[in-house]
Structure 1
């Protein structure tokens, strides 16, 4: 069961780590490439700010973004701003989201996210935490997948395994980390089952498209090619 209060507290901690890291990035470093193809670190920070505002919209029953073109344009517009302006925006928008997510509300209600995806309002703080934690890694400033809290990694593997469950392009796949935790995914394509084993960090890196899976052990076939998120 989703624990909204726990997720909000964990989000605050993740955000504090992120803000401490971005405060150390100067203007030149902000303009350098991130780990996301085609995006500078400035693009990642701008996206995080705009995502916070978008999720406030979700909690208020408004469209997450006006449209994809507006989302992309706003990120591009904000990516080249000076570091001080980016940091102030990131700090303010993060605080606005926490404030909105702390208001008394019916957290069992269904909300609509991007591209018509729906979810329980209670899961929105965790969705924001995913953005903060994984994009912190994408900044390439010394925070790695191995540094992510174990509880977060396990839950993100849960989420991604569920997302690819039954996907028509993914064969039946069993996942296991080095502590013995198990997940299943895929199953919509012919073939398999395939067994994929590795550390939780390597598994979440592969599932989220941040690592190529070369460090994983595969039995029963080849490592499935996952569709983009």
Structure 2
């Protein structure tokens, strides 16, 4: 069962880790390329701030973004800002998200996200947690997939394997870290491929953060995954 209150607390903790780490940067470091193609660290910080506000919109029953073009324009506008402005915006937008999450609400209701995707309101805090954790890694400032909380790694693997489950372009795949197992890809009587690795390596591949070279594959080639 999803515990949105637990996830809101986890978002708060992850945000504090990110803010503490990012505060050690300087203005020049903000314009350095991040690990995401075409984005600087400033783009990543701007996206995180605007995503917090977008998820407030979701929780309060408004469209997540005015449009895809407006989302992209806001990130481009905010990316060049100096570090102190970026940090203040990240903190303030995070506080707005926590405030929205603390408001009395029916957490079983269905909400609409970007691109017409729907989900339970109770999963919105976890979605924000994933944004903060993975984009902290994307900043390239010393926080790696291996530093992610173990419970987050397991749940994000659950989330991503569910996302690709039944996808006709992904072969039926069995994943395991040696203790837990997941299935994803198109339906089949038996998995076509088995992928083995540590939780962080599996997550890195599923989330498009690693190329899968740290994984062991049996039964064929490492499946190609569609973009998130």
TM-score by length of 1: 0.97
Runs of 5+ consecutive residues of structure 1 not aligned to the other structure: none
* Residues 167-200 of structure 1: CA deviation (Å, up to 9, x unaligned): 010010000013x1000000259x9510000000
CA distance in 2, matches of 1:97, 1:125: 9
Give the equivalent residue in structure 2 for 1:42.
Answer: 42
* Residues 3-54 of structure 1: CA deviation (Å, up to 9, x unaligned): 0111111111111101101111111001000000000000000000000000
Q: 1:101 to 1:181 in 2, by over 3 A?
A: same
Equivalent positions of 1:71-90 (< 5 A) are 71-90=71-90
CA distance in 1, matches of 2:111, 2:184: 25
Give the SS at the match of 2:137. helix
Number of matched pairs = 228
Give the equivalent residue in structure 2 for 1:112.
Answer: 112
CA distance in 2, matches of 1:55, 1:22: 22
Runs of 5+ consecutive residues of structure 2 not aligned to the other structure: none
Give the SS at the match of 1:123. helix
TM-score by length of 2: 0.98
Give the SS at the match of 2:171. coil
After superposing on structure 2, the runs of 4+ consecutive aligned residues of structure 1 that deviate more than 3 Å are: none
Residues 1:212 and 2:211 aligned together: yes
CA distance in 2, matches of 1:193, 1:127: 30
Residues 1:223 and 2:222 aligned together: yes
CA distance in 1, matches of 2:75, 2:91: 16
CA contact (8 A) 1:192 1:221 kept: no
Give the SS at the match of 2:50. helix
CA distance in 2, matches of 1:156, 1:224: 19
Give the equivalent residue in structure 2 for 1:197.
Answer: 196
- Superposition CA RMSD, Å: 1.3
CA distance in 1, matches of 2:125, 2:191: 35
Question: 1:147 deviation in Å?
Answer: 0.2
Give the SS at the match of 2:225. coil
Give the equivalent residue in structure 2 for 1:182.
Answer: 181
CA distance in 1, matches of 2:128, 2:52: 7
Give the equivalent residue in structure 2 for 1:64.
Answer: 64
* Residues 104-123 of structure 1: CA deviation (Å, up to 9, x unaligned): 11100000000000011111
